[in-house]
Amino acid sequence: MPIDYDDMMQSGATGLRSRYDEKDVMLYALGVGFMRDPLDENELPFVYEQNLKVEPTFASALPRGAAPIENQRNATKSSINLMLVVDGERHITFHKPLPVAADLIADERTIGVYDKGRDHGAVVVSERQVRDFATNEKLFTITSSLFARGDGGFGGPSHGGPEPHPIPDRAPDLIRECDTRPDQAFLYALSGDRNPLHRDPAFAKMVGFPRPILHGLCSFGTACRAILSTIGKYQPERIKEFAVRFSKPVFPGETIVTHIWADGGTISFRAFVKEREGVMVLNKGLCVLGD
């Protein structure tokens, strides 16, 4: 059935269980482009078990588990065309630095469903709170919006949701280029997102793309790497929030060029692709740095 607003707003789950270890941490870092230079001593701690560091946007790949059936709160009867779903926005708030390994438990709920019109799709906003299972301490909270391109026109509210972060009206304070590999999506998929849109040429063409696109969350992690490697001084524990709006897809092999503005601990950013002049792929980016 198409989206039922009341049904979707009541959907959610509690007790999502999963775990990760240092191998998952290192694989994710490789998936977002760390260690292009195998002699880079600044990036080595993100991919090597000696004094391992966790790239903060690894949180976006967690948890990958499922809740027991009895903990699924009003599992939705609405059906979204998953073939036409792409990432809209992501906002992560970190309550503690991510450990190098953890058992996790999470609760999630739908917090908004917005109808942009029959020809423009729908936006579904959800919140996931993730805790350390052993201590019950909150680790991070993720607010996500998905753009369901084929599901508009269901009659729900057309406006709402959090306001995006404004970008300063001045030239960027610095610019950081990060290349992606032609096979980047295959590597990133091993961190949990096996959507064929990112690997299968026939599937990509079927849903309207000329070829497979890079995962939006891989571009998200690449932008975080750009900030970590500059203003962040490779100190992931300083990142308290990280958020972005996804604008256009990146094709594997393109270069992500991140424009960065620093205003104290508030870092604003947006990103373009070098190979297609003027094409913005990330916008309204926010990184909050602590001491």
- What amino acid positions are annotated as catalytic residues? 193, 198, 213, 216
**In whole angstroms, what is the distance from residue 81 CA to residue 76 CA?**
14
Which 3-state string (H, E, C) describes 199-242? Answer: CCHHHHHHCCCCCCCCCHHHHHHHHHHHHHCCCCCCCHHHEEEE
Find the angle CA(260)-CA(56)-CA(291) to the nearest 5 degrees. 70
Q: In residues, how long is the chain?
A: 291
| Amino acid code (one letter) for 15 | G
Name the token pair of 114.
């917005």
Residue given tokens 């953890």 in the structure block:
102
DSSP per residue over 2-48, as a string? ---HHHHHT-EEEEEEEEE-HHHHHHHHHHTTTTSSTT-TTTGGGTS
CB of 220 closer than 8 Å to CB of 58: no
